[in-house]
Chains A and B, each alone.
Chain A
Amino acid sequence: MTLTATSFDWVRQLVHRESAIVLQPGKEYLVEARLLPMAQQRGLSGVSELVESVRKTPDPAVTRRIVEALTTNETSWFRDGDPFTAFTGTVLPQLLAARRPDERLQIWSAACSSGQEAYTIAMLLSDALPHAATRVSITATDLSRQMVERTRAGRFSQLEVNRGLPASMLVRHFTRAGNEWEISPALRRMITTSECNLAAPLPRLGPFDVVYLRNVLIYFDLPTKQQILTRVRQIMRPDGWLFLGAAETTLGVDDNWERVVLGRGSAYRPRKGA
């Protein structure tokens, strides 16, 4: 059975309430595709039946899984290249020069999905800095508990390591574990993971020197984007750096950021006095 308008609307409202993510009309296919496996697991014939059953018998575990199924997105190693080139080429040298040797740099991967972004940063740091783990710590957070657990585990399928991970880094930083590849314990120790809903008041985090908040804002409405950018600014160092997705900007959303062109990409820094 196809997704009814009422069921789609219920899912939209649930996802917006729990995560502030806006599912526009036209995203019915996404709801169908992401929720059908969950419906079938429960022996139901379609997504509308799944929605009906949760409406009749509310179950927080199921609603959480529905929200997670609709908010997790694809990721890959070195996604969009530029933010990482800028990190090692400009951002990291500037920060190291500005901080005392005993000050630990703090980096946040704010929607870490299954961990590729956080581990990409960890690999770059371990190649760039002797004793990287003593100079830098990386915090990886995601709305989805399942994604946080995957990041913590640091295990990736063959298909996942094929997605943009240079072969030289694969052999240097991973070992085979059956059909999967496991990141080295040294890199895993650089990363702290936790759940975090960016649309709600943030837990005690930071202060961060670098924040990767990429391909996240696009899912939110304008007031939520503004709230998120304000909260992120509050837990950043005044000379910190924010990386957004290639299609995202603070311009016209929050004027308290200054855009800095870095090579082919750009980053944002808290405006002085903001």
Chain B
Amino acid sequence: MRALVIDDSRAMRRIVGTILKDFGYEVREAADGRLALDVLEEGFVPDLCCIDWNMPVMDGLQFVFAVRANPVYRQVTLMMVTTESETGQIVKALAAGAHEYLIKPFTADAMRDKLALLGLLPEGVTA
């Protein structure tokens, strides 16, 4: 399974990336939405994108709109991973096409639970 972690904080990319690698994911990182689109266009089409909301250049919501506008990426599961926790924000992200929403701070167990919900927990990892 492949994941793209999109966050302008290097520390957060490392935390999310490490959790996903522990679950057996191959992980790439991008520091904003625009760079993440570049990764997709290079041919790294992941099973899962973990997307921060507030980022420079292109924010997480704009990235979700951009990915959902391109049918080539319709298999990609999009999960917001953000400190934004107002109901209105969550509704907005889901309406834009995000599949799930994980609010920071979170634990590795919470990430595992979300992956289980999405059917993206690699075989051998206990739900």
A residues with a Cβ closer than 8 A to B are 76-78, 80-81, 158-159, 161-164, 166-168, 170-171, 174-176
Contact = CB atoms under 8 A, between A and B. Distances in A.
Interface of B: 85-87, 90-91, 93-94, 98, 100-103, 105-107, 109-110, 113-114, 116-117, 127
A164 B107 CA distance: 12
Contacts, number: 53
Given A80-B127, A167-B101, A162 B117 contact: no
B116 A81 contact: yes
A159 B107 contact: yes
Nearest to A162: B110
A162 B90 contact: no
Q: What 9 pairs across the A-B complex have the smallest Cβ distances?
A: A164-B113, A167-B101, A162-B110, A162-B106, A171-B90, A163-B113, A171-B87, A171-B91, A163-B110
B100 A175 contact: no
A171 B100 CA distance: 12
Contacts of B106: 159, 162
A84 to B, nearest CB: 11
A164 B93 CA distance: 18
Nearest to B86: A176
A170 B94 CA distance: 12
Contacts of A159: 105-107, 110
Given A158-B103, A166-B117, A174-B87, 9 more contacts: A76-B113, A78-B113, A81-B117, A161-B103, A162-B113, A163-B113, A166-B100, A176-B85, A176-B86
Nearest to A78: B117
Contacts of B103: 158, 161-162
Nearest to B99: A167
A158 B102 CA distance: 10
